[in-house]
Structure 1
Amino acid sequence: MFLTKKKYSIILFLMLILLIFTLNISAQNPQMNGPVEEFKVQKQLNSSIIFILIVIALLLVLFVWEPMPISLLALLVPIILTIFNQYSKLSVEDSLSGFGNPATITVMAMFVFSAGIQRSGAVQLLGDRISQITGKNPKRQIALISIFTGSTSGIINNTPVVAALIPMVRELGRKTNVSPSKLLIPLSYAAMLGGTVTLIGTSTNLLASQVSERMLGHPFSMFEFSLLGIIVLIIGIIYLLTVGFKLVPARLEVEDDLTDEYEVRAYLTEVLVGEDCNFVGKSFEEITEDKELDYDIIRIIRNGKQFMEPLNAKTVRVGDHLIIRARQDTLLELTRSKGMKTLPEMVVDDDAIEQPLAGETLVEVVVPAHSFLVNKTLKEINFLERYNCNVLALRRGEELTHQKMEDYRFQPGDLLLLLATEKTLARLRKNNNFIIDREYDPNLFDQKKMYISLAILVFFISTVSLGLLPVAIAALSGAFLMAFSGCINKNDFFDAIDWDVYFLLSGLIPMGMAIERSGTAAYIAVNINNLTSVLSPVFILMVIYLLTSLLTNLISNNASVLLMLPIAVGTAEQLGINPFAFVITTTFAASAAFASPVGYQTNLMVYSSGGFKFRDFIIAGAPLQLMMTVIVPLLVRMIWGF
């Protein structure tokens, strides 16, 4: 059975409960200062606060166990807040405000920006140069990958940067005999850290800017926290080259053949159809309908000609050779009951499976978080007929499966090994629902589109930095110019947008407003401030960072920043210190999902590509998480002061 996130989620959830319990104990501590005690009396639990706390708890449980995509779960928020508006203190307009929120619009436009730059081939081309510089030195590879990824993620969304670089990184590892696993976690961590350098590096920053403007009248400027972001990025890279280098495991061995990497050899066999075979005279559709054992017919060889999916209309004849995917015990039962003869001389490797003349090739495909495959099975989406290809194996993290794949329910980051025709491969390249792994084509680079897309990006950054246009309007203008100039196909404009993120943000933005208006933020802030009897304000800031980063590892960066910012601002106001320092700290903490593969999209993307276990992220990421819990608040205090 595949490893799920349940055990890890329980651990983090218990840690969160323990912290909250500590805060509640401190709330009963009589040794607290006068102003906080006075505020606590004015902010006792009431029906509104209890209601909001129940909704928050419900969301956390649903987001952790994920009975359906969290983007759909987020739509419950405006529904609940409107129905129970006497407790949420929000009007209908407030509950629906997330759908037209400037931050939501900006994030959507940035997806188009990133797609335009990515599809010019610029990121892939520059990334490919790394292999020419680093040679076979893994530390040098990590350093350049981290520097390049971190700097690029500061100016375009970090998710497509990682999507573009995963194939390059895996191919680099293969060429230099370095396990791709050693390079992929640094790729993801550097993308997260680089996203904190500028306002547009990640959707988290844009959301936090909007909340900061609403609560403090202080939105982020383009380079407001760049100094802090650069320092944090450098510290992260140093960690990855020292402690992290020892902690990141080499899960995947360097294999020249995909068949070896996916252990296909033990599951593919060539059989000969004899005169007494039960399949003779039956169509493949009939065989499939009557199938009792777990096997798939991958290919038919007849008179020297190769045929692959779709095979349904073909009829089995005497003398046909069938390539069958099945376990050995299943194959023995199949040959015994159906009257077929195995041909053990078949050599299973990439060259044997791929048929260049027929245009068939092996390809790895990553399922991104926004893919329509998520939470669906091959059977439900009619995958084989839709894409005219065979699925030979599936990988989730360290686990491989070759059985019962039709009923396998996909999750973000899953890796598929496909046997596909060139026509199918061309379709997959254009399809946003897949990331083609281990593929880099220099011909994809379009110099003209690269210059135009970069010029549009400079236009966007300049207008926002100089205050000539609001961020949302500048972003919309840039997205329009990307389509108008042809940097992104007009038909692909809406496909470039991650609609899951749109609905997630739209649903959760009013939750942050409800936390603030119901008094919940003030109530929680008072309980946190009771720790001032034993902790100084900078340690309170560390507690805020730790709580936010725990939530990020549990749910997502956007959800955690929207839930925690009102609490952080309320805490600062009750302490009587600079609330903007708390906003910055919370924003950085929301982009610090180092200890989990499920809290941040880039971690999910490398999870299966690197063959990682859940605990690999805990072992490699927890020390960095704790380091940043101390370092970021101290740096924030130095730069912004209390």
Structure 2
Amino acid sequence: MNALLVQHGPMLWVFGLLAACVACFVANRPRMDVVALIALVGLVLGGTLSVGEALAGFAEPSVILIAAFFVIGGALVHTGVAYRVGDWLVARAGNSETRLLVLLMLAVAGLGSVMSSTGVVAIFIPVAVGIAARLQVPAARLMMPLAFAALISGMLTLVGTPPNMVVSGELVRFGAAGFAFFDFTPLGALILACGIGYMLLARRWLGGGATAAARSRPRRRLRELAQHYRLLDRARRLRVNDDSPMIGRTLGELQLRARYGANVIAIERERQFGQQMLTTAANREILAGDVLLVDFARPDLDIASFVAEMRLQERAFRNDYFTDLSRELGLAEVVVPPESALIGKSILDLRMRSQRGINVMGLRRNGQPVEDVLNEKLRLGDTLLIAGSWKSIRLLHTQAHDFLVLTLPAEIDEAAPAARRAPHALLCLALTVGLMISGVVPNVIAALIGCLLLGALRCIDMDTAYRSIHWQSLILIVGMLPFATALQKTGGIAWIVDGLLGLTGEASPRALLALVFGLTAVVGLFISNTATAVLMAPIAIGLAQQLGLSPQPFGMTVALAASAAFMTPVSSPVNTLVIGPGNYRFGDFVRIGVPFALLVGVLCVALVPLLFPF
């Protein structure tokens, strides 16, 4: 026994640490990144690895590549590209649930192939819930297809999910060729097509009922807030004609609010890359062709006479007007608290636009709208509807002595601070992908070039870039990567490979692929797909090398199986996100997810060797 411990003690220590990590991952106590760091320290203190070997993950190119694409995905959100895809989906879906499901899965998979799938699901949940309500279909019929498409997005490109990059890095570390950017695409596209067809059939079993969240009052959107204060009854969209006396003058010079009670809320202006929404400021100059959103706050104003005098042309409100408006302009409800400096003063007296960058759009007192918004003296408990840039809206929280924020519309979660930089963000993404495909520079350098260009073109700022990185995932990878080295040094990988070979005997390589897929998928039920890839990649690659086979089909199988987390609501964060909106039970994922995971497994075993021969 003592001799056995001496001979295999280091390997048993590594397996013990690994088992403890898996147990902590399953229990989710403590956090996964903390567990990984504790294990890293344990490998050093146990004498298994040197400090350099244990910390090598911090210099791993795949880790830097993952961080860079978190930033690129953050830039797509920051510039509004992701939300524009949602707008396109709403416009194209019409009243067809089938078309909506197909377009939703395509859009989510496409975006998720270059940015965080969890972030994509968070963006599309309110979009899908809103459309489901409009079509009067249960949200449950869309939430699971949304989650499945997000998981499949990880099978479309090298950067679709961290496990792909982890496996590619392991292949390189074992001396094999890593994966190219589009190596995953043929299989991923086929799986996506199968997934869409499968969900079109399976949606009939996703009836779902009314959730507690659905029964509770949702956050109102901009249009609802505007209706609540009768803003839509007073507001007009007015185009500035070429002979208007307003042209070339600033809002401060025109004094439209003081002279006419005409409060300019926003300005629509044509730009090279489309229409732009501008917030109002005293020094904002009016140009010919501008379309003004004007709130006529004075009830006695003859609007027709004003329009004629200023040589304006009335325009209708488009269906998507408030969606476009929300990219730059926000609304919020605030209440006047005790001892506020606003009490006893009128809106005109306060000069809110020049001093605070906000417009007061509506006033309610004792639950009823007040007609003369501009001249009414404010009282304790009055509720104001205010408009301004999202930055100004957020700053209201720091002015609690004068305002108490009651309602922030749902669009504040969708505001794109750098919306006008969207074309630049798409150009940077295209350049990054092009560099990765061409192989002119290493993948990680291509991604870093993309990040630097995004920063230089102001598509994302440093604070947002750092916030967009999912540090928990990176630390988890860095902490778990040393296990591959530790298992290799102590003979653990050889021991596992021998055990697998003993189970399979003279089985064909395809049977081994099936075993690898099944084992990876089962491990992925209990721990994150990233941790699953970190653990399974060296085992699968070692198995291939032991048999004298190419490691690439085995690595590809691990990557695809790690993303096939369809079977339980806790096997992936995207599944967890849709439980509430879809009102799902644990069994719903088992009933729908297990057959699809088996289908994906069959496709992988059948097709991976055709693309990556043994």
Q: TM-score, normalised by structure 2?
A: 0.67
3-state SS, counterpart of residue 193 of structure 1 = helix
Q: Deviations over 1:568-623 (max 9, x none)?
A: 11222223322211010001111111012222222222222323222222222111
| Contact map agreement 2:109 2:152 (CA 8 A) in 1 | yes
In structure 2, the residue matched to 1:546 is: 518
Q: 1:307 to 1:194 in 2, by over 3 A?
A: closer
Deviations 1:245-280, CA, capped at 9 Å, x for gaps: 23334243699864399xxxxxxxxxxxxxxxxxxx
Question: Counterpart of 1:188?
Answer: 147
Q: Which residue of 2 aligns with 1:204?
A: 163
Instruction: Tell me which of 499, 521, 541 is aligned to 2:493.
Output: 521
Residue 357 in 1 paired to residue 315 in 2? no
Tell me, in whole angstroms, the C-alpha distance in 2 between the residues paired with 1:309 and 1:549: 56
Which of 49, 54, 64 pairs up with 2:11? Answer: 49
AA aligned opposite 1:94: E
Equivalent residue runs for 1:379-398 within 5 Å: none
Q: Which amino acid aligns with 1:595?
A: M
RMSD (Å), alpha carbons? 3.3
Aligned residue number for residue 405 of structure 1: none
**Is residue 2:26 matched to residue 1:64?**
yes
2:533 alignment partner, one of 545, 556, 561 = 561
Figure out how many residues of one structure are paired with residues of the other and give that number. 447
- The corresponding residue for 1:449 is 421
Contact 1:196-1:226 at 8 Å conserved across structures: yes
Written as runs of structure 1 = structure 2, the 5 A alignment for 1:213-224 is: 213-224=172-183
Distance 1:260 1:459 in 2: 40
Measure, in 2, the Cα distance between the counterparts of 1:255 and 1:473: 44
Cα contact 2:528–2:572 (8 A) shared by 1: yes
Aligned counterpart for 2:204 among listed residues 246, 265, 273? 246
Q: Which residue pairs with 1:77 in the alignment?
A: 39
Distance 1:538 1:138, change over 3 A: same
Residues 129-151 of structure 1, C-alpha deviation per residue, up to 9 Å, x if partnerless? Answer: 22332233322221111112112
Q: Secondary structure at the match of 2:171?
A: helix
CA pair 65-308 structure 1, distance change in 2 beyond 3 A: farther
Inter-partner Cα distance in structure 2 for 1:512 and 1:387? 53
Q: 2: distance between equivalents of 1:254 and 1:136?
A: 26
Provide Cα deviations, 1:75-96, integer angstroms capped at 9, x if missing partner: 11210111112xx3x2211101
Distance 1:446 1:531, change over 3 A: same
The answer to whether the 8 A contact 1:122-1:445 is kept is no
Q: Find the counterpart in structure 2 of residue 394 from structure 1.
A: none
Equivalent positions of 1:302-381 (< 5 A) are 357-358=383-384
Gap change, CA 1:573 and 1:260, over 3 Å in 2? closer
CA separation of 1:188 and 1:356: change in aligned 2, threshold 3 A: farther
How far is the alpha carbon of 1:59 from its aligned partner?
A: 0.9
1:229 aligns with 2:255: no
> What is the alpha-carbon distance in structure 1 between the residues aligned to residue 382 and residue 549 of structure 2?
68
**3-state SS of 2:194 partner:** helix
Contact 1:136 1:177 (C-alpha < 8 Å) held by counterparts: no
Report whether the alignment pairs 1:173 with 2:173: no
Cα distance in 1 between the residues matched to 2:198 and 2:18: 34
Q: Are 1:532 and 2:504 an aligned pair?
A: yes
Matched-pair contact (CA < 8 Å) for 1:118–1:161: no
Cα shift at 1:456: 0.7
Which amino acid in the other structure matches residue 105 of structure 1?
A: I
Alignment partner, residue 18 of structure 1: none
Distance in 2, matches of 1:61 and 1:238, equals 37
Match of residue 34 from structure 1 = none
Query: 1:104 aligns to what SS in structure 2?
Result: helix
> Which residue in the other structure is 2:478 paired with?
506
| Contact kept in structure 2, 1:45 and 1:523, CA below 8 Å | no
Residue identity in the other structure for 2:200: L
Cα separation, 1, equivalents of 2:515 and 2:521 = 10
- Structure 2: how far apart are the matches of 1:356 and 1:516? 70
CA deviation after TM superposition for structure 1 residue 108, in Å = 1.1
Which residue in the other structure is 2:97 paired with?
138
CA distance in 2, matches of 1:507, 1:548: 19
CA shift, 1:66, in A, is 1.4
> What SS does structure 2 have at the residue aligned with 1:222?
coil
Partner letter of residue 156 of structure 1? M
Counterpart residue type for residue 72 of structure 1: V
Structure 1 residue 61: Cα displacement: 0.5
CA contact (8 A) 1:114 1:156 kept: yes
Matched letter for residue 56 of structure 2? S
The structure-2 alpha-carbon separation of the partners of 1:72 and 1:531, relative to structure 1 and needing over 3 Å to count, comes to: same
Please give the residue correspondences for 1:152-167 in structure 2 after superposition, counting only pairs within 5 Å: 152-167=111-126
Matched residue SS, 2:466: coil
Contact 1:553/1:599, CA 8 A, preserved across alignment = yes
Unaligned runs of at least 5 residues, structure 2:
1-5, 220-332, 341-366, 368-380, 387-396
Is the counterpart of residue 101 in structure 1 residue 73 in structure 2?
A: no
Q: 1:529 to 1:588 in 2, by over 3 A?
A: same
Q: Structure 1's 420 and 556: CA in aligned 2 closer, same or farther, altered over 3 A? A: farther
2:557 maps to a residue whose letter is T
Offset at 1:544?
0.9
Q: In 1, distance between residues paired with 2:520 and 2:399?
A: 42
Alpha-carbon separation, structure 2, partners of 1:425 and 1:62:
39
List alignment gaps of at least 5 residues for structure 1.
Answer: 1-43, 262-305, 314-345, 347-354, 361-384, 389-418, 430-435
How far apart are the structure 1 equivalents of 2:337 and 2:149?
Answer: 43
Q: Output one character per residue of 1:301-321: Cα deviation in whole Å (capped at 9) or x when no partner.
A: xxxxx998999x9xxxxxxxx
